[in-house]
Structure 1
Amino acid sequence: MILPFTLRINTCSILSAPSNCVLITFKSGSPRTVSDSRSKTTCVHFHRQRIYTEPALHLDGQPIPVNGEAKFLGVVFDSKLNFSSHVKYLKKKCLKALNLLRVVGHTDWGADRATLLKLYRTLVRSKLDYGSVIYGSAKKHVLRALDPIHHQGLCIALGAFRTSPIKSLYAEAGEPSLEHRRMKLAFNYVLKLKSLPRNPCHEVVFEAPLSDFSAVTKDWDAEGANKLHEVLPNLGEDLHRRGEGAGRKLETAMCRLRVGHTWLTQSYLLKNEDQPFCYACDSLYTVQHILIECPDFQDTRKKYFSITDLYRLFREVDLSRIVGYLKDLGVYGKI
């Protein structure tokens, strides 16, 4: 397959080649003739063969260099089409964009979570989305290199503790995993393609059945042991809206309490220590134990609320009363 591209040339000629194809890109900005761009023209030979011969192509009598990869419209195409080079390039770009989130995302005085999530979606997720319909065909172990970017971005925006379970971050932020996000964008492309029957991809795409659209919900339903699942059994509920406008510190504290991972209860993982026990009753020290279970905190708890399950606690009790209870125990600053 030979695909010559310029800003003024929009042609595509396909040659029969059972297991080989070639991408030729002309990188000059606005050439008057094809011969003017031969010094900026490269060729990538796509193949899966172990023993092969590079194509000998010429442009205006000059040989076209054959490269192992080439960037076209922001996507790096490598000769094996495994997109590992593009994923490395994309990860490097996104890590730079995350630095801005770190600057404005301090858990005490930073921007609110709504603003930080918008920044993440604009500066980082948009880069991950671009071209995902193409590079999403890469192997899973290649694509998994991008997952830490997604997790770091959500963790910074939410102010969640570093040990927070990944599935809890997704549920708390209302964001799908990158795998499900790529699936959604692919579905969007399929729906658009449905209205374009003359598109060369139309027949190929619609020969295969569509996958189940409820994959995200099923994935979350399987997280029965997840601490946040007890608080948020159904995805899509905006519990965080109860704390909007109350300041970054309160938003961060409520997020960590809902997820069940705080500095007080989970820092032992970072310090490589044993899990702590409650100093009052010698039970495992968890968020649930502190909020609703510990019998030694019962008298203090009754001054602020009498609810005994986390699901109702984060829906019916005013957040200021939860904060007051934790301050009375002297643990709010350690959330």
Structure 2
Amino acid sequence: MARKWTSITLLVLLAVAAFLTIMQLTETTPASESVFEQYSPIEPFRDEVPVRFATNWFHGAEFAGFYVAEKNGLYDELKLDVEFVEYKFGCDIAESLSSGVVDFALLSTPCFAGTSSDNLDIVAIAAIFQVEPAVFIVMDGSGIETVKDFVGKSIIVKNPYWERIIDRVLQAADISPDRVVKDRGAVDIKRFLLGEVDIWTGYAQNEPVEVDLSGYASKTIYAFDYGLNDYEGIIFTRSDIISERPDIVTAFLSASLRGWNIVVTNPELGLDAVDTFTTGLSIPFQRRSIRELIPYISTGIAPTGWIDSERWRTSCARWGIKNPDKYYTDSFLRRVYTERYLEIGNVLVDK
């Protein structure tokens, strides 16, 4: 029988892997060399190149690496003038990208699956989250220990995207979705804190942190424990940009991944950048949020942003996405990272 890792075990392993990655970079790189020498040199453009980049949610820690690239001048170094297009309710990000409103955009796997992908001209070039961050939060003492205990309990359904995730996880636990009480009421976490909803949905770096900082004791149940381990925070662009301006794709991806490397190795710099872009979020929340997301991004077994071809195909098949190779390329990741870096210590990279 295949071993099933518990959420605690897997998170510990991820944290250790991230730590070892940082240690490897600091211990094996000579003092005279920059840690960025894992990246191939990129020539800056002669003139400024405008780039419009759409995030898939409101400003927050999950975009810290991009903020760092902006605030620390990594985009500027390459003469990229990056405009962040913040998420708005009702906005179809995939359509905005495909139609040319933006040049790059972030999408989750379920959101990509929910688009009419056959009619969209978009291609995945990297994935920031290597581990699925979707979680379910329950209060201590609720009697809910696993997804099996969701039967008869109320669970917040924030939108169709979350309903797809909930149904996938329930089905993985051999539970029919109609055996839970789907609450489609107000998406205000105070309802959970007041006991109006038994199970709250969210991301590991957000809602569990908010509950804890509010003074409540809770338990987190991880979607990846139930087979839902898709790439998230996927960077997409269009095929016409890939064919006509591959230099822009390479430059944007290189600067962005360098920004994420800074967040992983120095979370406080990430905090400083996030604080520049966000309003209304406390420093303690942002600090915790950044530290919680790092193990999901830097696993120590593949470069930051990597998309493994077989895992991509499996994930697409799980969500009913046809012709997965049409919507993915690793060619820009291979241009961004040096050949030596890909050869040494990255076990998930196809040689």
What TM-score results when the alignment is normalised by the length of structure 2? 0.21
More strand by share: 2
Answer with 1 or 2: which has the greater Rg. 1
**Bigger RCO (CA 8 Å, 6+ sep):** 2
